[in-house]
């Protein structure tokens, strides 16, 4: 891995990262637009057309029936299924803690309430009602690899939120369907599953077809075409985020184990050629050791060619003067995954401002979060951790404001509202107050 310490070289590297995370190029956007428009116009016909073109020529149906899901799930190794079940329970327990409840205030006193039990609600109050989104579409990638963990991480928070309808799309390249993905789907009780992927799957969920009912929100990662399509249908439906290439940033001092650091960097590099593995350290000795260890471990990886390209283009070991400088640089990058491998990781935690997920200490590799720890692995990438959060239960709910005033309550703020409406030049707004106050003077105009 390259080792850089000069400010100029660091800035050039950061610029390369920013360009990597830039919007899709014109060719990808044009292709995505064509497919989306055709799916909107022709529905299932165009979905099958592009599934035959990009996935497998023999595609003749879209739906995977529950019996077919079970047949695929039966082909799995029981030990792996038990691992998925254990992970599922941990993920569900974590997300249960994110649930929000409706609330109201009377005289600015907070009180929880249930929207379906309104008998005891006072006549004058302000509040908020929480409701789940009705129908969600989940996209599960199936290109370079298949991810049963993506099923768990996207379906479970939706179920915890109370989403009634979940439709899941998973591509079947060369007509093959991953049995572990099907096992995860069966485990969670999802019945509505479609063997389609790519832009056509996003279009089908966003616009609806004869076979696939339109959803309200689309979640789940995918390649650059899928990410571009999600961005283009936003507004027609909601989306979780525009997922970019995976990234890990490790802050480490001379107490860190270089073997651990190297393995954690490579765990992201093997995702794809655009992944970004970064180490920031104040130790030149550690930097050299990690560089050598990366080369050793890289030699034995099955996905070596992918990891090599990732490291060459978007990987780096950055040497800074102290850990405080490392934290400052990390906050600028706003990484998807941030590992802190220093003597006392919690001491710098208050300084961390931008990170999708934070992993403290040498026994908390990022991989735990990918699969089994509990928090969601769908995280903001490309610096978007500056303003966005991991996928969670809150992504599958809607908030509605509640207002109820008696005459007495109305009178207490009427003049305030009238004054602001008049200042803004919105006469009809002010009239809604004046007609209730009895101060409205009708103007009759003659032709």
pLDDT tens per residue, range 19-69: 875 545 888 999 999 999 999 999 999 999 999 999 988 888 899 999 999
Same domain flag for 238 and 276: no
Q: What is the pLDDT of residue 58?
A: 85
Q: Are 338 and 330 in contact (CB under 8 A)?
A: yes
Same domain flag for 306 and 423: no
Q: What is the pLDDT of residue 175?
A: 87
Q: Are 213 and 167 in contact (CB under 8 A)?
A: yes
- Residue 79 covered by a domain: yes
Q: What is the pLDDT of residue 145?
A: 64
Tokens linked to 339: 């590992």
Strand partners, 316: 278
Q: What is the mean pLDDT of residues 367-385?
A: 95
Q: Alpha-carbon Rg of the chain, whole angstroms?
A: 26
User: What CA–CA distance (Å, rounded) separates 260 from 202?
Assistant: 38
pLDDT at 144 over 60: no
Instruction: Give the angle subtended at the CA of 333 by the CAs of 327 and 334, to the nearest 5°.
Output: 85
Strand partners, 403: 126
Residue with tokens 């075409």: 225
Q: What is the pLDDT of residue 112?
A: 63
pLDDT at 108 over 60: no
* pLDDT tens track for 180-203: 999 999 999 999 999 999 999 999
Average pLDDT, the chain: 92
- Residue 218 covered by a domain: yes
Is 429 an annotated catalytic residue? Answer: no
pLDDT at 430 over 70: yes
User: What CA–CA distance (Å, rounded) separates 16 from 158?
Assistant: 36
Q: What is the pLDDT of residue 143?
A: 62
Helices (H), 143-196: 148-161, 179-188
Same domain flag for 328 and 231: no
By mean pLDDT, which of 107-116, 232-241, 262-271, 393-402 is the weakest?
107-116
Q: What is the pLDDT of residue 21?
A: 55
Question: Which of the listed residues 183, 216, 243 is the one where a domain comes to its end?
Answer: 243
Confidence at 110, pLDDT banded by 50, 70, 90: low
Cβ count near 166 (within 10 Å): 23
- Provide the total of helices (H) and of strands (E) in the chain, helices listed first: 16, 16
Same domain flag for 180 and 275: no
Same domain flag for 67 and 211: yes
CA distances from residue 241 to 272, 310, 332, 339, 384 in whole angstroms, order as listed: 19, 23, 20, 22, 9
- The DSSP bridge pattern shows strands 276-281 and 103-106 to be unpaired
Q: Is 130 helix (H, G, I), strand (E, B) or coil?
A: strand
Among the listed residues 95, 271, 337, 377, the single catalytic one is 337
Q: What is the pLDDT of residue 23?
A: 47
Q: What is the pLDDT of residue 446?
A: 42
Same domain flag for 85 and 167: yes
Confidence at 18, pLDDT banded by 50, 70, 90: confident
- Residue 75 covered by a domain: yes
Q: What is the mean pLDDT of residues 278-305?
A: 96
- Residue 382 covered by a domain: no
pLDDT at 254 over 50: yes
Torsion over CA of 168, 173, 179 and 182, rounded to 10 degrees?
Answer: 10
Confidence (pTM):
0.91
Q: What is the pLDDT of residue 346?
A: 96
Residue 182 sits in a domain whose CATH number is 3.40.50.1980
Instruction: Give the angle subtended at the CA of 238 by the CAs of 42 and 148, to the nearest 5°.
Output: 85
Same domain flag for 145 and 290: no
Q: What is the pLDDT of residue 59?
A: 85
Confidence at 120, pLDDT banded by 50, 70, 90: low
Number of domains in the chain: 3
Among the listed residues 192, 293, 336, 366, the single catalytic one is 336
- Residue 400 covered by a domain: no
Q: Is 178 helix (H, G, I), strand (E, B) or coil?
A: coil
User: What CA–CA distance (Å, rounded) separates 32 from 232?
Assistant: 8
User: What CA–CA distance (Å, rounded) separates 122 from 310?
Assistant: 60
User: What CA–CA distance (Å, rounded) separates 175 from 368?
Assistant: 31
Helices (H), 97-171: 148-161
* pLDDT tens track for 210-221: 999 999 999 999
Same domain flag for 83 and 227: yes
User: What CA–CA distance (Å, rounded) separates 95 from 153?
Assistant: 10
- The DSSP bridge pattern shows strands 125-132 and 103-106 to be antiparallel
Confidence at 142, pLDDT banded by 50, 70, 90: confident
pLDDT at 114 over 70: no
Q: HSE (CB half, 13 Å, CA atoms) of 384? A: 19
Q: Which domain holds residue 76?
A: 27-101+133-243
User: What CA–CA distance (Å, rounded) separates 69 from 54?
Assistant: 22
Is 270 an annotated catalytic residue? Answer: no
User: What CA–CA distance (Å, rounded) separates 138 from 166?
Assistant: 7
Same domain flag for 64 and 202: yes
* Residue 320 phi, psi (nearest 5): -125, 170
**Among positive and negative, which fits the CA dihedral 229, 39, 148, 395?**
positive
Q: Are 334 and 354 in contact (CB under 8 A)?
A: yes
User: What CA–CA distance (Å, rounded) separates 62 from 194?
Assistant: 5
Q: What is the pLDDT of residue 445?
A: 40
Q: What is the mean pLDDT of residues 267-278?
A: 93
- Residue 31 covered by a domain: yes
Q: Greater confidence, 412 or 289?
A: 289
Same domain flag for 166 and 180: yes
pLDDT at 394 over 70: yes
Tokens linked to 113: 């309430």
- Residue 394 covered by a domain: no
- Residue 127 covered by a domain: no
Same domain flag for 302 and 228: no
**Among positive and negative, which fits the CA dihedral 178, 179, 180, 185?**
positive
Q: What is the pLDDT of residue 234?
A: 97
Instruction: Give the angle subtended at the CA of 357 by the CAs of 352 and 363, to the nearest 5°.
Output: 95
Q: Is 221 helix (H, G, I), strand (E, B) or coil?
A: coil
Question: Which of the listed residues 186, 212, 243 is the one where a domain comes to its end?
Answer: 243
Same domain flag for 223 and 279: no
Confidence at 269, pLDDT banded by 50, 70, 90: very high
* Residue 107 phi, psi (nearest 5): 55, 40
Tokens linked to 263: 């393995």
Q: What is the pLDDT of residue 243?
A: 83
pLDDT at 375 over 90: yes
Question: Which of the listed residues 210, 243, 276 is the one where a domain comes to its end?
Answer: 243
Q: Are 398 and 133 in contact (CB under 8 A)?
A: yes
User: What CA–CA distance (Å, rounded) separates 419 from 151?
Assistant: 53
């Amino acid at each position: 891995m390259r080792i850089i310490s000069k400010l100029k070289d660091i800035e050039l590297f950061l610029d390369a990262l920013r360009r990597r995370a830039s919007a899709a190029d014109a060719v990808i956007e044009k292709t995505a637009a064509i497919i989306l428009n055709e799916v909107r116009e022709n529905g299932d016909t165009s979905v099958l057309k592009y599934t035959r073109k990009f996935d497998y020529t023999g595609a003749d149906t879209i739906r995977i029936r529950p019996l077919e899901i079970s047949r695929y799930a039966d082909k799995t190794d029981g030990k792996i299924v038990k691992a998925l079940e254990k992970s599922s329970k941990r993920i569900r327990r974590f997300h249960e803690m994110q649930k929000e409840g409706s609330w109201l205030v009377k005289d600015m006193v907070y009180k929880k309430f249930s929207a379906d039990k309104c008998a005891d609600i006072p006549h004058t109050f302000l509040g908020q009602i929480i409701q789940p989104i009705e129908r969600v579409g989940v996209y599960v990638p199936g290109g370079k690899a298949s991810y049963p963990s993506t099923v768990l991480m996207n379906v479970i928070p939706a179920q915890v939120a109370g989403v009634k309808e979940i439709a899941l799309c998973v591509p079947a390249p060369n007509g093959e369907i991953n049995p572990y993905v099907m096992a995860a789907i069966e485990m969670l009780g999802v019945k509505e599953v479609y063997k389609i992927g790519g832009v056509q799957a996003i279009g089908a969920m966003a616009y609806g077809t004869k076979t696939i009912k339109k959803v309200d929100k689309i979640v789940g990662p995918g390649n650059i075409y899928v990410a571009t399509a999600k961005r283009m249908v936003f507004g027609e439906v909601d989306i979780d985020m525009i997922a970019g290439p995976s990234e890990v940033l490790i802050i480490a001092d001379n107490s860190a184990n270089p073997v651990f650091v190297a393995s954690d960097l490579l765990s992201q590099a093997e995702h794809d050629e655009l992944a970004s593995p970064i180490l920031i350290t104040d130790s030149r000795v550690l930097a050299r050791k990690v560089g050598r260890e990366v080369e050793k471990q890289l030699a034995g990886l099955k996905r070596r060619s992918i990891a090599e390209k990732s490291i060459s283009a978007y990987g780096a070991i950055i040497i800074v003067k102290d850990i405080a400088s490392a934290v400052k640089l990390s906050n600028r990058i706003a990484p998807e995954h941030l590992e802190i491998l220093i003597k006392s990781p919690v001491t710098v935690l208050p300084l961390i401002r931008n990170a999708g997920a934070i992993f403290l200490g040498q026994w908390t590799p990022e991989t735990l979060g990918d699969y089994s720890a509990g928090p969601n692995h769908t995280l903001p990438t490309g610096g978007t951790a500056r303003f966005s959060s991991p996928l969670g239960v809150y992504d599958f709910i809607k908030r509605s404001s509640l207002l109820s005033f008696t005459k007495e309550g109305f009178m207490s703020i009427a003049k305030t509202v009238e004054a602001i409406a008049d200042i803004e030049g919105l006469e009809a707004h002010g009239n809604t107050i004046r007609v209730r106050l009895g101060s409205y003077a009708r103007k009759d105009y003659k032709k």
